[in-house]
Amino acid sequence: MTAHVDLHAVPGHDAHHEIEIPYTVHPRPDTGVYNGKLGIWLFLASEVMLFGALFSTLILLRTSSNHWPRGWEELNIPLATLNTFILIGSSVTVILAWANLRLGQLKKAKIFLALTLLCGLGFMIIKSIEYASKFQHHHYPSTNNFFATYFVMTGLHGLHVLGGMIVFAYLLLTADKWYAKHRDQFTNRVEVTGLYWHFVDLVWIFLFPTLYLL
């Protein structure tokens, strides 16, 4: 509290006034990051713990089990391999989208965002085919713990893919408006969503061999 009261500095009496949260777009000097980037990494740390718990479950159940099938005995490796390529490809397209935004190329960025979305869709379609075939052969989560862990881990991962797709769709639909008004903030949002998407890819990089190839 100072002895000088500045009557002109009272916030809130401008009709367009909004509270300005610092470091939304530009990084804070001492931490070196902007808010969204720190936020997404913290969120990803929590996701590491979430999938970690499931991997721990898998290890415990598998090492306790009398009979645990090898991946190729029960699962469709060619389809899953294709899915792996699709997901890795989508990781590239999303980072190319962000790179193009940094270069100021909105049109190219939108194309790469759309490709990412398409890859995600492809991943989910192939996943549905896989699941459908399992159900046809009467392999359900309740069949045994091999299938229980398979369905839960790929299912949760699939939900994360879906979540990412929804965000990409939103970014694509609002790209023009956002880029025109808040270019830097939009670029940051694509970067942050990209980080999330790379994490989803990262989980699959471990999930695929663990479930299918061992």
Q: Which of residues 162-201 bind other proteins (CB under 8 A)?
A: 176, 179-180, 183-184, 187-188, 191, 194-195, 198-199, 201
Q: Which residue has the tokens 């790179």?
A: 99
CA distance 185 to 191: 10
Q: Which of residues 23-82 bind other proteins (CB under 8 A)?
A: 23, 25-28, 31-35, 37-39, 41-43, 45-57, 59-61, 63-66, 70-72, 77, 81
CB-CB contact of 75 with 211 (8 Å): yes
CA distance 114 to 25: 24
> Rounded to the nearest whole angstrom, what is the least distance from the CB of residue 101 to other proteins in the complex?
8
* Closer to other proteins by Cβ: residue 77 or 125: 77
Write the binding mask 114 to 133 for other proteins: x where contact by CB under 8 A, - elsewhere: --------------------
Residue 56: exposure state from Cβ atoms within 10 A (0-12, 13-18, ≥19): exposed
**Interface residue with other proteins, options 128, 140, 162, 166 (CB under 8 A):** 140
- One-character DSSP codes across 108-132: HHHHHHHHHHHHHHHHHHHHHHHHH
CA distance 37 to 31: 11
For residue 120, which of 153, 157, 175 has the smallest C-alpha distance? 157
* Closer to other proteins by Cβ: residue 53 or 162: 53
Size of the site for other proteins (CB under 8 A): 103
Q: Which of residues 94-113 bind other proteins (CB under 8 A)?
A: 95-96, 99, 102-107
Q: Which of residues 4-23 bind other proteins (CB under 8 A)?
A: 4-7, 9-13, 15, 19-23
